[in-house]
Amino acid sequence: MQKKWWMESVGYQIYPKTFYDSNHDGFGDILGIYEKLEYLNDLGVNLIWICPFYDSPMDDNGYDVRDFFKVYESFGKLEDVKKLLDRAHELGIKVIMDFVLNHTSDEHPWFIESRKSKDNPYRDYYIWHDGKVINDKKVEPTNWGSFFGGSCWNYDELTDSYYMKIFSNKMPDLNWKNPKVQQEIVDVGKWWLDFGMDGFRIDAVSHLDRDSFVDIKNAKDKYPLDWHKFSNLPKVHDYLKMLNKSLFTTNDALTIGEVGGQATIKEAIKYAGFNSNELSMVFNFDHNWCNNLFDITNPKKLKTNVVDLKKTFNKWQHAFKDNGWVPLNWLNHDQPRLMSQYGDYKFPLQSGKMLATALYLMRGTPFIYQGEEIGMTNYPFEDVNDFDDISSRATYTYELEKTPDDPVRALKVASLRSRDNARTAMQWNKEEFAGFSDENPKVLVNRNYKKINVETQLNDQKSLLNHYKKIIHLRRFSEFKDLIVYGSYEQIDIENEYIYVYKRIYEHQTLLVINSFSRKKQVYQLNHYDIKNIVISNYDKQKIKNQELTLRPFESIVFEVKEKL
Ligand code: NOJ
């Protein structure tokens, strides 16, 4: 296996709008990230991924790009990005940015041209189609649904035709079949790599090809959402091989593709196997669905399915063990908060530490999502107007249509899943607005910032934040660093529904990582091992008697061991 710098990195994801406001306008910005670089350096991360900061009308918080070469006004200027890159590089921190190439904003000049007429030179930059006529009425070319609700086609009066958009109406999909589009995107990527970026998180990359335009049969919904119609289709791999050859490899760029929850392991290997010549890694979301978050009909069910979770991690660790590399992330800006999904509100500190140990000692590259390291939680939404996110509003509308007399239920469902949970202001200190901004913030601030914030945790040796630091230190600087990065991974006792145990082995070293996902006392037998050391744990004074380890609620402990023969 060829070793790469990003295998030894620890990543951190930044949502610029809510990270830090440096210029007192209530909105996060690039210089805000610059000002917090020392914090990130001290935390130990050496790779940051910044969500979109391109110029945009902000229909989807910057994933709707109006100008690829300009920074959105409230985020700052190109010079600020340069300043950020220079300082990050001085500190040894690599920087990657979101590369949005499935769609643009409808305010992008290409689309403005494309709409104008059927023979405009930019017409084929997007996917246009005539409507169907049913009972003398014009309807969409197919009944396919979009991710943000409704049809995946939008009607445009100007030329009496429909354009495809699998996200919002303001995000028309680019036509990747057009070689000119491919070249434009290569030029955008090249420009940013020349500017100093170290790579990209590639947005919605599995959607670049579409199936033939045939209706989905026997659908319950008017616009059923069937991902297969626009996900992981064969041509996507041709496009990625082209991008890899003309852009990524030539610039030694790190590339992580977002392949959504729908890519199977087989498909993921096609994207990111060592020999695939496409991407460095892919983000998958399989482990995000192991807690019935999407089923609120029975609130009791809303708890982690530990066996499922273990099997999911195991599947990815094994599939990629000789063939490729995986990112290790609990969640991102599209998911509710880790503490509100897999953490335990009665044992926040213990469960938070356990979750960090469980994931970030696996084989792969960690990506910590901003605020995760201090245990930020979901937002207590009280009104539909609290939602800023376009898809949360769409979920609310959809749910309300199902039960028009029960807006409380609709709000509850939309809140549980809302992407806004992850997009509240970063909680820096106890001061007003959580120290995110000193002006009235234009983003939500969670009320619990006096309890949960960076400053308080920096001053507390036993805090979650300090546990994250220790884990990162172990990965990057300790005597176990090669083991943690390159060692083998083996899961033990996979059917145990409370304890997650795995072994990491490298040359003469073995680590045994034991994590309890339970509020109740659990017991684990250690008789196969001679214990050499305790490497890290989240409780004092371990309880081991006659080779039996008693685990307290959410206890997590890592031993250096020698296996008994
Ligand atoms: C995935 C991004 O993570 C999400 O935030 C965005 O809404 C869609 N892609 C569309 O760009």
Summarised one tens digit per residue, pLDDT across range 8-44 is 999 999 999 999 999 999 999 999 999 999 999 999 9
274-296 core/surface letters (b: 16 or more CB in 10 A; e: else): eebebbbbbbbbbbbebbbbeeb
The 10 Å CB-count burial string (b at 16+, else e) for 491-503 is bbeeebebbbbbb
Tell me how far apart the alpha carbons of residues 544 and 277 are, in angstroms, rounded to a whole number.
49
Closest residue CA from atom 2 of ligand 1: 203
Ligand 1 in reach of 98 Cβ (< 6 A) = no
153 and 18 in a common domain: no
Please give the Cα distance from 30 to 277 (Å, whole number).
32
Residue with tokens 């910057």, as numbered in its chain: 62
- Please tell me if the CB atom of residue 204 comes closer than 6 angstroms to any atom of ligand 1: yes
- Three-class DSSP category at 151: strand
Banded pLDDT at 303 (limits 50, 70, 90): confident
Find out whether the beta carbon of 396 lies less than 6 Å from any atom of ligand 1: no
Is 283 near ligand 1, meaning CB less than 6 Å away?
Answer: no
Identify the active-site residue in 60, 203, 372, 388. 203
DSSP labels, 235-274: HHHHHHHHHIIIIIGGGT-EEEEE-TTT--HHHHHHHHBT
The pick from 13, 167, 335 for probing ligand 1's pocket by mutation, whose C-beta has the most ligand atoms within 8 angstroms, reads: 167
Strand pairing class (548-551; 543-545) = antiparallel
With a cut of 70, say whether residue 82 has pLDDT above it: yes
Mean pLDDT of 399-419: 93
138 three-class SS: strand
Pocket perturbation via mutation, ligand 1, pick of 13, 103, 203, 288 by most ligand atoms within 8 A of CB: 203
Q: Where are the alpha helices (DSSP H) in 117-205?
A: 179-195
Same domain flag for 63 and 157: no
* Shared-domain flag, residues 399 and 437: no
Residues 76 and 115 both lie in one domain:
no
How far does Cα 89 stand from its chain's mean position?
23
Q: Do 315 and 398 belong to one domain? A: no
Which amino acid would we find at residue 368? I
Look at residues 436, 471, 506 and tell me which one is the last residue of a structural domain.
471
Judged against a pLDDT cut of 70, whether residue 295 lies above it is answered with: no
Paired sense of beta strands 67-71 and 161-164, if any: unpaired
Residue 531 lies in a domain: yes
Q: Which atom of ligand 1 is nearest to the CA of 60?
A: 7
Domain end, chosen from 437, 471, 505, is at: 471
Residue 169 lies in a domain: no
Q: How far is CA 376 from CA 384, 426, 436, 438, 538, in A?
A: 21, 8, 14, 20, 18
Residue 63 CA, ligand 1 centroid: distance in Å? 6
Domain assignment present for 178:
yes
Report the range of poorest mean pLDDT among 250-264, 312-326, 394-408, 471-485: 250-264
**Residue 405: φ, ψ to 5°:** -90, 0
Q: Is there an atom of ligand 1 within 6 Å of 560 CB?
A: no
pLDDT of residue 297: 56
203 CB near ligand 1 (under 6 Å):
yes
Nearest to 285 by CA among 254, 321, 306, 312: 312
Going by DSSP bridges, is the β-strand pair 153-156/94-100 parallel, antiparallel, or unpaired? unpaired
- Tell me the CA–centroid distance for residue 14 and ligand 1, in Å: 14
Q: Give the dihedral sign, CA 364/368/372/373.
A: positive
Q: Is 373 within a domain?
A: yes
User: Which residues lie closer than 8 Å to 449 by C-beta, 6 or more apart?
Assistant: 425, 427, 430, 434, 435
Q: What distance in angstroms lies between residue 75's CA and the mean position of ligand 1's atoms?
A: 18
Ligand 1 binding pocket includes 334 (Cβ within 6 Å): yes
Q: 373 with 226, same domain? A: yes
**pLDDT band at 439, cuts 50/70/90?**
confident
- Give pLDDT, residue 298: 56
pLDDT of 105 above 90: yes
Q: Is the CB of 344 under 6 A from ligand 1?
A: no
Does 502 score more than 90 pLDDT?
yes
How far apart, in whole angstroms, are the C-alpha atoms of residue 97 and residue 378? 25
Catalytic position from the list 60, 258, 372, 560: 258
User: Could you tell me the distance, in angstroms and rounded to a whole number, from the CA of residue 206 to the centre of ligand 1?
Assistant: 12
pLDDT band at 251 (very low <50, low <70, confident <90, very high): confident
Instruction: Report the separation in Å between the CA atom of 371 and the middle of ligand 1, taken as the mean of its atom positions.
Output: 19
Bridge partner list, 376: none
Examine residue 298 and state whether it is found in any structural domain, yes or no.
Answer: yes
Ligand 1, atom 11: nearest CA belongs to which residue? Answer: 63
* Closest-CA residue to 255 (of 98, 54, 369, 104): 98
List the domain range (segments joined by +) for residue 408: 382-417
Q: Are 51 and 88 in contact (CB under 8 A)?
A: no
Q: Which atom number of ligand 1 is nearest to the Cα of residue 100? A: 11
The pLDDT of residue 166 is 97
Answer yes or no: do 334 and 281 share one domain.
Answer: yes
Rg (CA), the chain: 24
For residue 294, pLDDT over 70 is answered with no
pTM to 2 decimal places: 0.97
The CATH number of the domain holding residue 160 is: 3.90.400.10
pLDDT interval class at 403 (50, 70, 90): very high
Instruction: Return the CATH number at 500.
Output: 2.60.40.1180
Residue 110 CB less than 6 A away from ligand 1: no
Pair 146, 15 in one domain: no
Are 245 and 297 found together in one domain?
A: yes
Distances (CA, A) of 135 to 138, 139, 221: 8, 10, 20
From ligand 1's centre to the CA of 22, what distance in Å?
25
Same domain, yes or no: 302 and 409: no
Domain count of the chain? Answer: 4
Mean pLDDT of 511-526: 96
Is 399 a pocket residue for ligand 1 (Cβ < 6 Å)? no
Pick the residue whose CA is nearest to atom 6 on ligand 1.
63
> Does 547 share its domain with 449?
no
Domain assignment present for 370 = yes
Query: Per-residue pLDDT for 261 more than 70?
Result: no
**Average pLDDT estimate for 44-55:** 98
Query: Ligand 1 in contact with 113 (CB < 6 A)?
Result: no
pLDDT at 391: 93
Banded model confidence at residue 288, pLDDT cuts 50, 70, 90: confident
Are 373 and 430 within one domain? yes
State yes or no: is 295 an active-site residue: no
State the distance from the centre of ligand 1 to the C-alpha of 62, rounded, in angstroms.
9
Average the pLDDT over 89-93 and give the result.
98
What's the mean pLDDT when you consider all of the chain?
95
From CA 491, how far away is CA 245, in angstroms rounded? 36
Q: Which of 214, 188, 213 is nearest to 202 (CA)?
A: 188
Cα–Cα distance for residue pair 224/207, rounded to 1 Å: 17
Region 40-65 average pLDDT: 98
pLDDT: is 163 or 345 the higher one?
A: 163
For the question of residue 548 being annotated catalytic, the response is no
CA 203 to ligand 1 centroid distance, Å: 6
Query: Which residues fall within 8 angstroms of residue 541, CB to CB, at 6 or more apart?
Result: none
| Any atom of ligand 1 within 6 Å of the Cβ of 167 | yes
Give distance in angstroms: CA of 505 to centre of ligand 1. Answer: 37
Which of 334, 367, 369 is the best mutation target for the ligand 1 pocket, counting ligand atoms within 8 Å of the beta carbon and taking the most? 334
Percent of the chain with pLDDT over 90: 91
Residue 183 lies in a domain: yes
Query: What are the strands of the beta sheet with 254-258, ordered from one edge?
Result: 281-283, 254-258, 199-203, 94-100, 47-50, 11-14, 365-369, 327-328
pLDDT of residue 296: 57
